[in-house]
Amino acid sequence: MLARQIAVGDIHGCVRTFRELVRTKLNIQSGDQLILLGDLIDRGPDTKGVIDEIFALKSEGVRVHVLQGNHEELMIAAYYGVDQMEYWRRCGGQDTLNSFGVSSVLEIPIKYREFIQYSEMYFETPECIFVHAGLNFSKRDLFADLDAMRWIRKMEIDPERIGYRKIVHGHTPRPYTEIIKQNKYDINLDAGCAYTELPGMGYLVAYEVGTGEFTYVQNCE
């Protein structure tokens, strides 16, 4: 079986849903490449479990690339600035703290903090550019605006500037029924996994680059 290249949208602490998607539905194998598009943490019940699952996948030979999302940035800011702690808590950070059984980001074990802090900003292949939120096409250097990579909501994509590759990202929740119909240059995989109360959301979505197929599971936390 040829190794696959699979991207997964915003997990947001939903480890059971993540396992159901990658282990049961996708049957991930050693040698497969798994690109996680950021926002692994916050909002859902088990951020620690998500990171532990990623450690397990790596130990089994899955080639995992973890990108940094805006929620990871908020956690890092809370670690380095006490004035940012309360804002991060309100944005879902309290759920992350609860998953570790601690009251402060300073108490999260260093291997987890470093895992988040040193995640990649983007990842390129001949077919795709993987990034959490998107790219700022108003900049001469598309890869210079790190804030846009984590926070941008709308892109005016110029396909020629990216070599007619797809930009595969998350960040902006959309109903899964819209996501699985995409086939152009803008592939958004955020189906609001943690937003189970919103119509059409509460799903975790994967995209297999080689086949162009979307796979999704409903939140099962």
- Domain around 52: 5-218
CA distance 1 to 202: 31
For 15-48, how does the pLDDT look when each residue is reduced to its tens digit (9 = 90+)? 999 999 999 999 999 999 999 999 999 999 999 9
CA distance 104 to 85: 8
Joined tokens for residue 106: 């300073």
CA distance 135 to 189: 15
Joined tokens for residue 43: 């909002």
CATH number of the CATH domain containing 111? 3.60.21.10
Across the beta sheet with 186-188, what order do the strands follow?
A: 122-124, 128-131, 166-169, 186-188
CA distance 149 to 166: 15
For 85-144, how does the pLDDT look when each residue is reduced to its tens digit (9 = 90+)? 999 999 999 999 999 999 999 999 999 999 999 999 999 999 999 999 999 999 999 999
Question: Where is 207: in which H helix or E strand?
Answer: strand 203-208
Q: How many domains does the chain have?
A: 1
Question: Where is 48: in which H helix or E strand?
Answer: helix 47-59
The vertex-159 CA angle with 156 and 161, nearest 5°, equals 95
